[in-house]
Amino acid sequence: MVRSRFNRKLFRGAAALTAASAASQFLPLFTQPYLGRLIPPDAFAPYAVFTSLLSILGQGACLRYDYAALVVASADEAEKAAAAAAIACGLVSVAGGLILWLAAYPIAGALGLMEPSILQWVAPALFLTGLGSAFRTYAVRKEKFRFTAWADLGRAAVLAGVQVWGGFAGWGAGGLLAGSLASLVVGAVPFLGYYVTACGKKLIKWPFWRDVIGTARRLRDFPFYLLPGAVSAGMACSLLPLASSALFEAQKAALAQRGVTLLSVPSSIVSSSFSQIVMKKAVEERNQGGTLLPWFYKTTGMLALVGAVPFAVLFFYGEPLITWFLGENWRGLGQVLPFMVPLFAVRFVVIPLTGIPAACGDRKKTMMFQIMLPLAILLASFGARLFGWGFGAFLGACSLLQSGVYVAFWLYSRYKAKGGAK
């Protein structure tokens, strides 16, 4: 009976977060027709580089102590893990900002940016990303699903509203940047407020922070193993616009970034809400000596059925849909979309399940699989440079290689679901 109530609560929590995530993803998506007509593709190129860098670095902003707050045994240790995540995000942001400031021009030159000034905003955006992640995970740990859902919706509404306003005001890439920064503030402040309220006066006492340092040391396997894997997973798609910018003209980077954004919507809806709850369930089953295999197969089948139709439509009718949705300026995106769709269809099914090995304590092998994802893009980039591939061939090679890694990751997650929870 206890497990039944637990599973029902998890299901309701997953449903609430999935619904909120769907709304938060589709709100900005609905603004794309306006932005596609208000802002030319060339103006998207600097923003594409900014979002790609933020996505890569943001995965490691908390040194993965945010995930530790989700899976540690006690509530007290979860509080200290969340505090360690916040401290880590501050240190990482300062270090990242210093590097980007000192090497702004070389980095901009390598990425094909004409103006490096947008790089200065990566550090504050990284800090806000890490702060939100640290305390959002803590809220999920405390099963504050409704609160988390409303906060996600608020963040999405601000992102969409500010970017459309900036588009009408003629701000170009500046409007896109302003929307991202404003949404990050809205995404961090509510969770910070909840954490401070939950912890109370202990936050102003030295023994608490002394114990935070001790907790960070005990949980050092999270930054040691999960951090390289998380950064690598972030690079799996974010590296695509960066590589496109380095190998081809700036417009190709904009096409790659816009393609990643559109195709990531379905997987983001599921993975951003489901993954953390999957890890929570895996930890529960591990502690009780159970198996996740029946649930693993059921979830795989459900995800495959849900994703089949939309991805098939995008594969066969991507060009007319994109032209209608974004305008004639973005016809090139519709032409290259079929090269990208297979990868994101596989990601849609696999990503929500890949937290199982890490939750079962197998963080080293999880890291190894995640590191292989950006290596696939680097291998495709080397092939494009060596053999003179066009943009479509380059995207196809990236899609094929990364899909193979995801399939292997799924097979290993199945193995851990069968016996790894014991």
Q: Encode the chain (422 residues) as per-residue pLDDT tens digits.
A: 444 444 555 556 555 566 666 666 666 667 777 776 777 767 777 787 788 788 778 878 898 898 888 778 788 888 999 999 999 999 999 888 888 877 777 777 766 665 677 788 888 999 999 999 999 989 988 878 778 878 888 888 898 889 888 888 878 778 888 999 999 999 999 999 999 999 988 898 888 999 999 999 988 888 887 788 777 776 777 788 888 878 887 778 778 878 887 787 666 666 655 666 666 666 666 666 667 787 788 878 878 887 888 889 889 988 888 888 777 777 888 888 889 999 999 998 888 888 788 777 677 788 888 889 999 999 999 999 999 899 989 999 999 999 999 999 999 988 888 875 44
Report d(CA 414, CA 297) in Å as an integer: 8
Its pTM stands at 0.69
Q: Is 143 helix (H, G, I), strand (E, B) or coil?
A: coil
* Token duo for residue 280: 């929570």
Report d(CA 50, CA 253) in Å as an integer: 12
Report d(CA 131, CA 194) in Å as an integer: 12
Cα distances (Å, whole numbers) of residue 356 to 6, 98, 407? 18, 36, 15
Q: Identify the CA nearest to 175 among candidates 56, 35, 41, 51.
A: 35
Residue 59 is classified by DSSP as: T
Cα distances (Å, whole numbers) of residue 77 to 52, 66, 70, 82, 355? 33, 12, 10, 9, 21
CA 349 from chain center: how many Å? 15
Q: Identify the CA nearest to 308 among candidates 298, 319, 300, 297.
A: 300
* Token duo for residue 388: 């003179």
Q: Identify the CA nearest to 104 among candidates 56, 70, 140, 53.
A: 53
Q: Is 74 helix (H, G, I), strand (E, B) or coil?
A: coil
Residue 184: Cβ within 10 Å count: 24
The structural domains of the chain, with segments of one domain joined by +, span: 30-219, 232-422
* Token duo for residue 363: 């963080």
Sign of CA dihedral 241, 247, 248, 249: positive
* Token duo for residue 258: 């816009």
Give kind and range of the element (H or E) at residue 328: none
